[in-house]
Chains A and B, each alone.
Chain A
Amino acid sequence: MADSSLAGLPWKQLDMKATEVFCALAAACAAFAQPVPRPAPRPSTPAGELAKAADEFRTVTRNLGLRPDSPATVRTTNISGPRWHGRLFHNIRNNSFDAVPHEVTQRGGQRGLLRRNQFGFNASGPLPFKVLSQPTFLTVTFEGMREKAGRADLRTIPTALERTGDWSRVVDQAGRPLPIFDPASTAPNPAFDAARPVTASNLQFNRAPFPGNIIPRQQLDPRAQQLLRHYPAPNADAGPFDRNNFFAFNPEVNSANGVILRADQPLTNRHRLGFHLNYSNGQDGVAAIFNTPANPSSVSRDRRNRAGTLEHVFTVSPRTLNTATISASSDQYLNRPELDESGKPFGSYRFQPYLSMGRSYPNARNIRNVFAATNSLGTRRGRHHYRVIGQLIREQINTLYPQYPEGRFQFSANLTSLPGIVNTGHAFASFLLGGPEYAERSIAISPSYFRRSRYYFGLRDQIELRSGLTVSLALNIEGGTPRVERYNRQSTISLSAINPVNGLPGAMTIAAHDGNGRAFQPTVWKPEPSASLAWNLLGDTKSVLRAGYSRSYSPLPMYFSQWGTQAFNGNPTWYSQNPQLEPAIWLNRGFPPLQRPFPDLRPESANETTADLAEPRGLQPTYQSASLSLERELPGAMLLTIGCGHQTGRNLFLSNSGSNPNHIPPSALVHRDRLNSESFKRTLRPFPHFQRFDVYSSWPEGRYQRDAAQLRLEKRTSNGLSLAAYYEFSKQMDNYSGPSGVQDFSNRQNEWSLTSSNAPHRVSLTYLYELPFGGNRALWNYQDWRRHLVDGWSVSGATSVASGEPVALRPQFNNTGGIIDALNVNPVPGADPHVANPGPNRWFNPAAFVQPPDFTLGAASRTHPSLRMPGDQNHDLSLNKRIGLSAERSIEFTAVGLNFLNLANWTDPDTTIGTLNAPNVNAGRIIGSRGGRVIQLGLRFSF
């Protein structure tokens, strides 16, 4: 006891003088003689109470099993330890809950189609038995989904008359009769003046129109007529004229079953194992546009996804942690072919602007396996926090992926036009005659087994330079081996090898043959530096200035494709020698026989084809970014962030529409109509013995720049309301993007324009409001049964609004002899492209643009610098009601309204610009809108 009684004093302190002793004795006697007053209760001292609390702490923690010295029977039932928790849930959607989609009502539909059930459970907790000395914790999640949803599609297909060859009622984009010419009547014009451009008054070839604009039945190709049996009849009339005349609203059927399993096994206090498994099977359905073998929509596929991770965490010391991870994943996709009556997939027949028949990749089987081993070591030393990461990744692609096993046939208006005169002829008329301009066929002899490895080593140091200033420096070294094929079945074009046919550079070369390595690109190592800082401005912790810079590279992706195996899996192509005069092949004769069977490893085996070309230098996309932001805490639990960023990228991988290493420069347009002759054009190509190269989204020529400023406001809960608002203004430019491609491959600077997907203004708002009634709230604070009705209501919302993307205008015709893939339009001097009140009838002024003259480039940019497509907005709302059944059991009811305001977003306007004489009357118009409110109801039981 620490009170002031004598008992607590050492006896030697009582060693007093005799007089003092006497006085003390006297006082004691006097005190003893007097009645003893009853002592008042002494107030307890903080120290004493604290000691009592400490004793209680020991007792309670021991009894609750919270101490190492707790009895074993109690410790194992530590009440705060992991227990089994989980949930059961079911979400349903049905079109009877929803608004009818706008795109359906506009075509006269009365109801949508949506049946969806999503269900599953989750449970997590310790295993009831021990596998090792420490308990094992398990989390199991299952989710299943069954869905049948209608998808709307508005397209243009030929009328019944057109199919019979009767084009007497067919009009062009301006509403004027469209003449169809008979290719069989073609003859050189003896009066042609080669010194003057080809015009209607100076024709190079004479060709007679079909009498009455009707193709005689005997000239219709029998194979084409046979194919047309699978082409449906028009069923709509959205217009203008006979366009937008086929409306499809067919179901898409999807299903999925998936499991996530997580296990966590502590080994000792310093070692821990974790295991994670994902398993998902399903069907990715695609709604048919029409229900015949000629259906042109994508192919439905079966899917199997597996992923597993094993992780070991080793706490070396309280300041040093090592994490080692091994992971493997496998994604398998199997396309579901739809066969015609002959038991084969339907070929692909394309005749723009009409909807095509048939589809690509009808038969496909793809597997991607990824194996990764990662080790991460983090340690703290003084003011430094070091992190070292090493990673090894092995990727495998096993693919059998013929794109057009039954052929692709591309038709153009040329064959049925008046040669050299635009706005004559029609691609579908050329189809009726059975004369494609281009044809190809995919011959997959064997699957391809691609492999590659990637390596990653990173070092990061986070330094507290001084109070309030933290700097991070990092250097990553990323390397990767190029793609190889397990059986060396790879080929490409060597741009330096001499072709034996003509002695010019450019010849087929084979992996692991003739001194070649197994790959066509080098192993690449790249340093990726980055730096960032966080600084409390002027020592004020309410303000943080952040700045960052990084430079990174992106390895060449491995796609599901057999591109690069051309010598083993053939992809023969047939081009017309003059599309105005003759087709590439005739439909009714089929493909010409192959000169040699595959594999064909000769250097000249890819001559006269579209040859697969791999970029040989191993150039990789390079990204740089810099950012600056200022965060400021505001009163009311608010945080305001203002920031800006600058990003650039170069050597971005482009596809065939963005890059063509065998292009003919636009300066060759001076040759005008001679460019229609393949024999002439080949003299202009860098590699004349190849038609063009297929670079398969892997040619490093792209460049972009993005500048953006952001404003973000967050507010934590106050009176039940929390929200986050975000606004971004951005401008992104590039030299490749767009719906059609690049006009001038040889002058990238001319292609520098707004990125086709750049929406400059983006606003988003998310919010949560706990409704102010129920228990412990301002309103209806009932204590009786009514509390179950009014308690636990909340509303969540998410709103996003984005301005439109740049308008990308295209001319109706492209009369450039086939050397310009994507032609731009010409601006009309003095004409304002903007209109006062943009609306569906007139979104922009089409008279401000015009089709460029024949054999000239368009002067306008690829994307317009100020015209924008309609913006997009979406407002989602979720209403939740929680009913607490007990401390740990509850039921939650959820109603989610996607686009709950049922607002429609306009579809894009028609951006095709006609000629001065025959303008596209639909240009600048919007013919519909899309969207519609969707409701999902959900019930979740949590325990």
Chain B
Amino acid sequence: MTAALAFFALLAQPAPRQPAPRQPAPRQPTLKVPFRLESDAKVDRASVAVRINGKAVRLQRLLGPSDGLVLLVISDLTGDIAAADAARQALTAALAPLPPTVFTSLLRAQDGLTALTNPSSNRDALRTAFDTIPVTGYAGLLDTLETAGALADALSHKAAVRTAILYITDSLISNYRTDYTNPVVNSSDAGDLSRRFPEGLIREKMAQLQRAIRARHTPLFILHLRYQTDRLNDAYQTGLLDLATATAGDAAFCRTIADVPDNLNALLTAAQALHFAEVEAPGSKAEGDIAIDAGGVSVKHRAHYTRPRSR
């Protein structure tokens, strides 16, 4: 009897899935365009139109808040124990209510990017790992940005998920191992004009990164725990804001410890609300401008792209 039931049960199973017909290799590479709505409106595939260099392109797929999100949380904490602890507490509180469609992973930016937890909906693992990160070393945000972007892009190329990077950093420009501050070498040189505009090196680095991240599509969010107003850090933090907004992400700068939870929640809310429009990239041009019409809803989106040299 049991054997008969098993036999029939096997018969009742759906036929093994046929291997999906091999899709013809896309003639045009896919371009993922992240964007955020500036209101609570909802959009669907029919209401979104994307133009590349002024020409309408076909929307292949639209991922929205109901789709999966892989959030790479990157710790870049180098010295402010109080701010770091506030960030820990805020992150613990902010991750708990995230839906299971948000996978989070923790990485560390010091001495090269290091993965500490795999993406999952298990917040405890991330919280535990975050709790044990030492708050020391040299700042790593600028050094790891490209790698983090490449990593996140790889995930969204492999799977139909949205990706976002969230840096939690207390880094000042002077915390970098690489010299961006152009410190005075000869203190007696009273006629030195080369430091009259001391932010030159920072701006140059930011320009390099701006160029590099145009080839990435994952939005970048930055929670900076120490707002500074001196000229060098002003240039640095302005650069971070530029980098984040260029990717459809955002940056928030905490002027007090009390700002940390609110700013973190705002960034996470923005990350969850991300849409990814997948379109065919135009063939010939290596660079281009992107425009998105979301049915009249105001959007923040990645405005430029550069075709990656290789994946």
Contact = CB atoms under 8 A, between A and B. Distances in A.
Nearest to A316: B134
A878 B114 CA distance: 39
Given A7-B13, A315-B136, A46 B197 contact: no
B196 A143 contact: no
Nearest to B266: A541
B118 A798 contact: no
Interface in B13-36: 13-15, 17-18, 20
Interface string B101-117: 10101010001111100
A2 B285 CA distance: 43
Interface residues of A, number: 131
A722 B235 CA distance: 9
Give the size category of B's interface with A: 35 or more
Given A21-B5, A282-B188, A536-B256, A46 B111 contact: no
A527 to B, nearest CB: 24
Interface in A126-171: 137, 139, 141-143, 145, 147, 149
Contacts of A536: 256, 258-259
Interface in A59-91: 60-61, 64-68, 78-82, 85, 87, 89, 91
B9 interface: yes
Contacts of B56: none
A32 B11 contact: yes
B193 A66 contact: no
B118 A54 contact: yes
A577 interface: no
B289 interface: yes
Interface string B175-188: 00111000101111
B131 A467 contact: no
B81 interface: yes
A54 B103 contact: yes
Interface in B108-166: 111-115, 118-121, 131-138, 140, 143-144, 146-148, 150-151, 154-156, 158-161, 163
Given A52-B159, A717-B238, A781-B289, A318 B133 contact: yes
A6 B8 CA distance: 12
Contacts of B212: 887
A57 B148 CA distance: 11
B44 interface: no
Given A41-B20, A143-B186, A470-B257, A541 B67 contact: no
Nearest to A140: B179
Interface in B285-311: 285-287, 289, 303-304
Interface string A838-856: 0000000000000000000
A385 interface: yes
Contacts of A544: 255-256
B85 interface: yes
A124 B178 contact: yes
Nearest to A385: B82
Given A50-B68, A464-B257, A256 B189 contact: yes
Contacts, number: 309
Contacts of B111: 81-82, 266
A80 B140 CA distance: 9
Contacts of A21: 5
A313 B289 CA distance: 47
A122 B205 CA distance: 14
A609 interface: no
A775 B214 CA distance: 12
Contacts of B255: 534, 544, 631
Contact of A39 (B14, B144, B158, B187): B14
Interface string A46-58: 1101111111111
A490 interface: no
A172 interface: no
Contacts of B114: 66-68, 78
Given A46-B101, A82-B143, A303-B188, A898 B196 contact: yes
A379 B303 CA distance: 44
A369 interface: no
Interface in B243-281: 255-259, 262-263
A379 B81 CA distance: 7
Nearest to B242: A717
20 contacts: A39-B14, A46-B101, A49-B67, A49-B68, A50-B70, A66-B147, A79-B147, A80-B143, A80-B147, A282-B186, A315-B136, A380-B84, A541-B256, A714-B229, A717-B238, A776-B304, A796-B200, A888-B208, A896-B196, A898-B196
Given A78-B113, A385-B81, A534-B258, 14 more contacts: A41-B20, A44-B160, A66-B115, A68-B114, A79-B147, A89-B194, A120-B185, A257-B186, A260-B185, A282-B186, A318-B135, A541-B259, A798-B197, A878-B197
